């Protein structure tokens, strides 16, 4: 890994929030740039190639969802969305938009820094460790090097965290993982975070994988992967 300082682009039109988020990130050792609207954000994302982008949903010109979508067409840079409303969450972290994580305002800046760190750690070198591993479960085939998921011959498009969550569960098949454990392993949070994030991702996975979804809810505990069903292809 390069020894260069990692950089964060903070996209936020409210000057007071932009400045305190910047301050906390600088104190944590990151190089920080800010953009006060979507046009600036897109230009900066392109020219500066930040290590991570903190992106506010509500901006004066182009909204955060559209910005995220446009950035995703060209880049896998991790994106942490800031939103004022809970309802946006499914959309934001689904494949449609493709943010890596979100935080709902008002948030604790220390928690924001913790999440930035964990996202960067996760998107860093250890993502390559399992370079060529593949898993097969019933009709489901996952290739972690290609980040590819197939049900039979059909490729399923998953958002980055949906992929990581599915991998983690399959890699521990048969074992029950609690929401906190999944947050820690997939998102890297070392403290009790917002476990709803896990539920939202499981819901998306079930929707996308349909009948092939191997995920079982263990009520009051968490999730696990059950035994593979024999899927007979017509
Ligand atoms: Ca705003």
178-200: average pLDDT: 78
Distance 54 CA to ligand 1 centre (A): 12
Judged by DSSP in three states, 42 sits in helix
pLDDT at 31: 96
Average pLDDT along the chain? 84
Distance 17 CA to ligand 1 centre (A): 9
CATH at residue 46: 3.40.50.2300
Task: With cut-offs at 50, 70 and 90, classify the pLDDT of residue 127.
Answer: very low
Per the structure, the count of domains in the chain is 2
218 part of a folded domain: yes
Helix (H) or strand (E) holding 156: strand 154-156
Asked if residue 63 lies in contact with residue 57, where contact means CB atoms within 8 angstroms, the answer is: yes
Task: With cut-offs at 50, 70 and 90, classify the pLDDT of residue 48.
Answer: very high
pLDDT at 101: 83
133 part of a folded domain: no
CB neighbours (10 Å) of residue 95? 15
104 part of a folded domain: yes
Distance 165 CA to ligand 1 centre (A): 30
Q: Which class for 75: exposed (0-12), middle (13-18), buried (19 or more C-beta within 10 A)?
A: middle
Distance 59 CA to ligand 1 centre (A): 5
Q: What percent of the chain has pLDDT over 90?
A: 46
Q: State pLDDT tens for residues 94-110.
A: 556 778 888 888 888 88
19 part of a folded domain: yes
Same domain, yes or no, for 182 and 89? Answer: no
The pLDDT of residue 3 is above 70: no
Distance 75 CA to ligand 1 centre (A): 23
Distance 55 CA to ligand 1 centre (A): 9
Out of 118-122, 129-133, 168-172, least confident range:
129-133
Distance 57 CA to ligand 1 centre (A): 6
Distance 52 CA to ligand 1 centre (A): 18
Asked if residue 7 lies in contact with residue 63, where contact means CB atoms within 8 angstroms, the answer is: no
Q: Kindly report the pTM of this predicted structure.
A: 0.61
Same domain, yes or no, for 186 and 107? Answer: no
CATH at residue 214: 1.10.10.10
The pLDDT of residue 150 is above 90: yes
Asked if residue 71 lies in contact with residue 81, where contact means CB atoms within 8 angstroms, the answer is: no
Question: By residue range, what is the domain housing residue 64?
Answer: 3-122
The pLDDT of residue 89 is above 50: yes
pLDDT at 84: 81
Same domain, yes or no, for 32 and 115? Answer: yes
Distance 18 CA to ligand 1 centre (A): 9
């Amino acid at each position: 890994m390069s020894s260069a300082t990692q950089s964060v682009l903070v996209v936020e039109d409210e000057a007071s929030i932009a400045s305190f988020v910047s301050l906390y990130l600088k104190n944590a050792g990151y190089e920080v740039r800010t953009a006060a609207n979507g046009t600036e954000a897109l230009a900066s994302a392109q020219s500066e190639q930040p290590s991570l982008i903190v992106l506010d949903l509500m901006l004066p010109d182009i909204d955060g969802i559209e910005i995220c979508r446009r950035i995703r067409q060209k880049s896998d840079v991790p994106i942490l969305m800031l939103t004022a409303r809970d309802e946006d969450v499914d959309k934001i972290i689904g494949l449609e938009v493709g943010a890596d994580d979100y935080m709902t305002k008002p948030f604790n800046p220390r928690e924001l820094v913790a999440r930035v760190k964990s996202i960067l750690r996760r998107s860093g070198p250890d993502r390559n460790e399992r370079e060529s591993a593949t898993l097969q479960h019933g009709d489901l085939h996952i290739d972690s090097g290609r980040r590819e998921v197939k049900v039979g011959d059909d490729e399923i498009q998953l958002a980055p965290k949906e992929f990581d969550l599915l991998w983690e569960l399959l890699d521990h098949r048969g074992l029950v993982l609690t929401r906190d454990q999944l947050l820690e392993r997939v998102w890297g949070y070392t403290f009790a975070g917002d476990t709803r994030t896990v539920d939202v991702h499981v819901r998306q996975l079930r929707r996308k994988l349909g009948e092939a979804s191997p995920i079982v809810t263990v009520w009051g505990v968490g999730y696990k992967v059950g035994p593979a069903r024999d899927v007979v292809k017509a």
